[in-house]
Structure 1
């Protein structure tokens, strides 16, 4: 502990400053990476699901029978939805395509859907 008359050596202050800057940079990079992952998830959903399902925070689905993806997310436990997406969602009707998403695609989709659920 440093008393009122004691001084912290400059080298220690410099180390602390560098550590704080590195930690701040790492947090910013992680946040940017998460943002990119969510953006990728949104693009994947727009391409594969957006023709029938609403993929935004609000709005009705283009196909009345198709639930918005934000509602699909809350119907499943995260691990269940992850498994469903990886194995190809079991469709409720014949017109719905069965898509086997890659692990990376599933991670991106779940990141986007999680962000939607948090905004509610």
Structure 2
């Protein structure tokens, strides 16, 4: 695979991850590189990404992150969705 096609694949995966977060998490959590979360007590996804080791966050997403906040839905993301979410959050973390 060439470097340009690899970058395109990574960009597509990252875009898919952003869409997944927007659909499932964006109602409460900020999903962009900056800005406040719509729900004050919900940490931005970029902060959640910074708190966990990658493998730990990967496992949490696959198993459905558990929160002390009762209204937070527990979503068991597929392996493909988790890969896309992590690609997006990684892209956010590295663009600074």
Match of 2:37 in 1: 61
User: Aligned pair 1:82/2:65, yes or no?
Assistant: no
Structure 1 gaps of 5+ residues are 1-22
User: Aligned pair 1:99/2:75, yes or no?
Assistant: yes
**Structure-1 separation of matches of 2:60 and 2:69:** 16
Question: Higher relative contact order by CA 8 Å / sep ≥ 6: 1 or 2?
Answer: 2
Number of residue pairs aligned between Structure 1 and Structure 2: 96
RMSD: 0.9
| TM-score normalised by L of structure 2 | 0.97
Bigger radius of gyration = 1
| TM-score normalised by L of structure 1 | 0.78
Offset, 1:40 = 0.1
Structure 2 gaps of 5+ residues are none
